[in-house]
Amino acid sequence: MYDIKGYYDAETVSEATALLAENPNLKLIAGGTDVLIKLHGGQLEGAELLGLRKIKSLEHIRVADDGTIVIGAMATFSTVFNNPILRELIPILTEAAISMGGPQIRNIATIGGNVCNGATSADSASSLFALNAQLKLQAKNGERLVPIREFYLGPGKVALNPGEILTEILIAPEDYKGFGGQYIKFSMREAMDIATLGVAVVCKVQSGNFAEVRIGLGVAGPTPLRCLEAEEYAKGKKISSETLAEIGKLAVKSAKARTSWRASKEYREHLVEELTQRALKIAVVNAGGAELV
């Protein structure tokens, strides 16, 4: 039994936003894999829940006419992983999806819930950061688009205003077309685990040089983050072990790792340096570049 005071279902987005406007105390629940666990742990008490599970329109994944990838916030991790479009166009997201939890969790946890939970360890986050994802937030009186980097404000804190619902995650064509990527989740266990570090990279390769590199990291700071200095450095550089080594070093500069009982700052930074390079090596090949040996 959960300490729930009330439970309401919305069947459409407008119904949900209307209910939210009426009762700002409503706590949104999508797959429940975060909310219910908080209730179990006592971090949330006497909750009034607004369930989004009946809003089928939010489960769709499609490519818009302009090439923008549109992922409904209520798409589960299993749906994301199994979606042929995403697997072809942005495999770093589907790989991140399959690395999350176990099958039963993936069958119910949603990508929107994962993002709105605001955890730096969110398995989708480093990939969505590397892909420059935009979030569509809907309120009763309108909608707005927020880049994912501006959405994560702090541990468990996101830029979701009262009354707003995350409806879609958008990835623009210029952010994924022509890129190759790689995602690495480093954790103690191969399943059912929280990442010690999540690394997602995408790159564009032009005649042996990096045309563009984007690096998203999870658990390297209080929020997921990008390694802008490393990315800037990489631009136009020859793809070589030396360049990768330098990118690895610069990536550490962007990281804001802290020591916790889960891992030390030093170890996390070491992993950032090492795994960024490992991910990039494969990303280069995925982007059509030559394999570094």
Partner 1 sequence: MAYTVVGQSVSRVDAVAKVTGKAKYTDDFSERDMLIGKVLHSPYAHAIVKSIDVSKAKALPGVEAVLTYKDLPEIRYATAMPGVIEAIATDEVSVAELKYGTAGHPFSLDSSHRDKEDRHILTQKARFVGDNIAAVVATDALIAAKALKLIEVEYEVLEALTSTEAALKEGAPLIHDDCERNILASGGYEIGNIEEAFKDSDHVIEGEYETSIVQHCHLENQVSHAYVDSDRRIVIMTSTQIPHIVRRIVAQSLGISWGRVRVIKPYVGGGFGNKQDVTIEPLNAAMSLAVGGRPVKLELSREEAMIDTRTRHAFKFKIKTGINQDGKINGIHISAVSNTGAYASHGHSIASSGGGKFRYLYPTKALKYDPITVYTNLPVAGAMRGYGTPQIFFAFESHIEDIAKKLNMDPIEIRKKNLVEVGFVEPLSKNKIMSCAIRECIDKGRELIKWDAKKALYKKQSGDKRRGLGMACFSYASGTYPVALELAGVRIVMNQDGSVQLQLGATEIGQGSDTVFAQMVAEILGLPMYMVHVISTQDTDITPFDTGSYASRQTYVTGMAVEKAALEIKQKVLGFCHSMTDTPAHLLDLKDQWIVFKESGEKVQALEVVAMQSYYDRVHAQPITSDVSNNARINAIPFGVTFAEVEVDIKTGKIKILEIYNVHDSGKIVNPLLAEGQVHGGVSMAIGYALSEQLLFDEATGKPLNNNLLDYKLPTIMDTPKIGAAFVEKEDPTGPFGVKSLGEPPIVSPAPAIRNAVLDATNVAFNRIPMTPQRVFEKLKEAGTI
Partner 2 sequence: MFKRIAFTVNGKAYNFEVDVRESLLDVLRNHLGFTGAKQGCSVGECGACSVLIDGTPYDTCIYLAVWADGKEIRTIEGVAAKNGELSDVQKAFVEEGAVQCGFCTPGLVLTTTAMAESGKEFTQDEVKRELSGHLCRCTGYQNILKAAEKSLEGHVCTCVDSPHYKG
* Contact residues for partner 1, defined by CB under 8 A: 1, 3, 41-42, 102, 186, 188-194, 196, 261-264, 267, 270-271, 274-275
Considering only CA atoms, which of 231, 246, 235, 244 is closest in space to residue 206?
235
Q: Are 9 and 30 in contact (CB under 8 A)?
A: no
Closest to partner 2 by CB, 86 or 230 = 86
Going by C-beta distance under 8 Å and a sequence separation of 6 or more, which residues neighbour residue 288? 180, 205
Closest to partner 2 by CB, 51 or 216 = 51
Please spell the DSSP secondary structure of 79-91, one letter per residue: HHHH-HHHHHH-H
Closest to partner 1 by CB, 1 or 88 = 1
Q: Amino acid identity of 225?
A: L
Minimum distance, C-beta of residue 180 to partner 2, in the bound complex (Å)? 21
- By a kind-dependent CB cut-off of 5 to 8 A, residue 264 interacts, out of partner 1, partner 2, none, with partner 1
Determine the size of the site formed for partner 2 (CB under 8 A).
27
Two tokens, residue 36: 């219910």
* Contact code string over 91-130 relative to partner 2, x by CB under 8 A: -------x--xxxxx-xx----------------------
Two tokens, residue 210: 């990096």
Minimum distance, C-beta of residue 223 to partner 2, in the bound complex (Å)? 24
Q: In the window 18-77, what residues touch partner 2 (CB under 8 A)?
A: 32-33, 36-37, 40-41, 51, 53
Q: Are 198 and 219 in contact (CB under 8 A)?
A: yes
- By a kind-dependent CB cut-off of 5 to 8 A, residue 180 interacts, out of partner 2, partner 1, none, with none
Q: N- to C-terminal Cα distance for the chain?
A: 56
Options 164-172, 188-196, 220-228, 279-287: segment touching partner 2 (CB under 8 A)? 188-196
Minimum distance, C-beta of residue 4 to partner 2, in the bound complex (Å)? 5
What is the spatial distance between Cα 17 and Cα 136, in angstroms, rounded to a whole number? 14
Minimum distance, C-beta of residue 124 to partner 1, in the bound complex (Å)? 18
Options 6-14, 161-169, 172-180, 224-232: segment touching partner 2 (CB under 8 A)? 6-14
What is the spatial distance between Cα 14 and Cα 23, in angstroms, rounded to a whole number? 14
10 Å CB burial of residue 178 (0-12, 13-18, 19+) is middle
Closest to partner 1 by CB, 169 or 271 = 271
Minimum distance, C-beta of residue 39 to partner 2, in the bound complex (Å)? 9
What is the spatial distance between Cα 179 and Cα 87, in angstroms, rounded to a whole number? 14
> Rounded to an integer, what is the distance from CA 221 to the centroid of its chain?
14
Q: Are 280 and 244 in contact (CB under 8 A)?
A: yes
Tally the C-alpha atoms within 13 A of residue 161's C-alpha that lie toward its C-beta: 13
**Residues in contact with partner 2 by the rule CB under 8 A:** 1-7, 9, 32-33, 36-37, 40-41, 51, 53, 98, 101-105, 107-108, 190-192
